[in-house]
Amino acid sequence: MIDHLLREIQVLRKVDFLIAKIWLDFAARRFGLLALACLIAVFGLAMANVAGLYALQGSMGSVSAAAVVALIDLGIAVVMLLIAKKSRPGPELDVAFELRKVAVDSLQAEARDLMLTLDAIGREVKDVKANIAQLVQNPLDVAAQKLLIPAALSVLRGVRARKGHA
């Protein structure tokens, strides 16, 4: 019984580590995408600055090229942010949570069984203690109840059985 309880605790520990690993992988992936989006946004901002500079200089060809590059960079950054925002851990996390639930339920069942067993042992110990106390206080009464009365009933049954066969 305790072996089952320990096994269930080990399963619960492994499932918790699996859940943590999945979350860490997810967080790392999301952080990477967010960092990339931020880097692209910085490049887009730099290009927007260059475009503004060119616009002030009055050169229309350079301004248009810089503005287009800046808009493309900012568009890529927006797409990366949306991908990062919609990113989810995946179905393996749901499976891990199900395994964890099964392990916790099994652990609770094992703990209930262990408690019932311990309660039964406790009741038996109390009964034995009460019997010993009763034997110490009234040894003849206990001997009569536990030994003489069953013996007498057995003898009477034996006598009745012999009369029935004879």
**pLDDT score of 63 more than 70:** no
**pLDDT score of 66 more than 80:** no
Question: What global pTM score does this model have?
Answer: 0.43
| 157 located within any domain | no
| 62 located within any domain | yes
Distance separating alpha carbons of residues 151 and 58, to the nearest angstrom: 123
| 164 located within any domain | no
Domain of residue 45, residue span:
2-120
Q: What are the pLDDT digits (tens) for 119-131?
A: 888 898 898 888 7
**Residue 32: what pLDDT?**
92
| 55 located within any domain | yes
Q: Helix, strand or coil for residue 82? A: helix
Distance separating alpha carbons of residues 3 and 11, to the nearest angstrom: 12
The mean pLDDT of the chain is: 79
| 136 located within any domain | no
Structural domain count of the chain: 1
Q: Which two tokens stand for residue 32?
A: 């990477």
Q: What are the pLDDT digits (tens) for 139-166?
A: 767 666 677 777 777 888 888 877 776 6
| 152 located within any domain | no
